[in-house]
Amino acid sequence: MRIPDGITIESGKKYGVEFCFCPADFSAERGGTQIRVLRPEDDLRVLCTHWLIDGGAEREKLWDIYYALENRTADFDWDRFLDAAGERRRKWMICAVGITHKYLGLDIEKTPVAAEAKNLPRWITDTIEKEWKSDVKFKYLQASLTDAGEFFRQVRKRLPPNPIQATVEMEGDFDDKPRFVYQTANIFYRLLPSIKRFSKSMFPNFFNSKNSNLKK
């Protein structure tokens, strides 16, 4: 996409997602104030990354990706969408497009990723279909403390970790190799934060008094 002369481009990275602001072409006005928004390519990359990091469990949210692609403009920059966040995430984006094609019927024949997107690793489709069939939906453990049955169902749901979620959180490759390494690493990656959240839920008075003492 051509950027007009005199327009400043601001780029960076936030929450692990590359972004680029173009104030002139991509802004909205609210209350007399110009608000900068993500370019369509970056917005789609955010949608894909968030859907994948949820482990492919949210079928309805896949429609967000479908409509973003279905309604893209003629000057949609595929190179920016695919390559701005690096080679590894390029494969993530292609798989997200392929998943949308496979399960929601998105027409990708005239896209530059048609061939690659149709070649999804088997572990990805197996994970998605398992999640969609499951009656146990993801909840935070601390929200299940008052229901022992639900608590242990949530623990069981996390072991082993969802392969898609584990791979994305560990910045892994979407290739045909087994997910064991990423899933094992993800257990340790999540363990300490989970213990901290669980402890704060179990012993709120202790942590509240500790924070009060630190402020003195």
Q: pLDDT by residue (tens digit) across 144-166? A: 777 888 888 888 888 899 999 99
- The torsion angle over the Cα atoms of residues 26, 32, 33 and 34, rounded to 10 degrees, is 10
CA distance 21 to 82: 17
What percent of the chain is modeled with pLDDT above 70? 76
Low-confidence spans in the chain with pLDDT less than 70: 1-30, 197-199, 201-216
CB contact at 8 A, 40 and 76:
yes
Please identify, among 71, 95, 119, the residue that sits at the C-terminal boundary of a domain.
119
Could you tell me if residue 70 is inside a domain? Answer: yes
Last residue of a domain, one of 119, 148, 181: 119
**Number of structural domains found in the chain:** 2
**What pLDDT, in 10s, does the model give residues 83-99?**
988 899 999 999 999 99
Are 100 and 143 contained in the same domain?
Answer: no
Print the domain residue range for 178: 135-216
- Provide the β-strand partners of residue 21: 10, 38
Q: Whole-model pTM?
A: 0.76
Number of Cβ atoms within 10 Å of the Cβ of 144: 17
Half-sphere exposure of 160 (CA within 13 A, CB side): 14
Question: Residue 129 falls within a domain, yes or no?
Answer: no
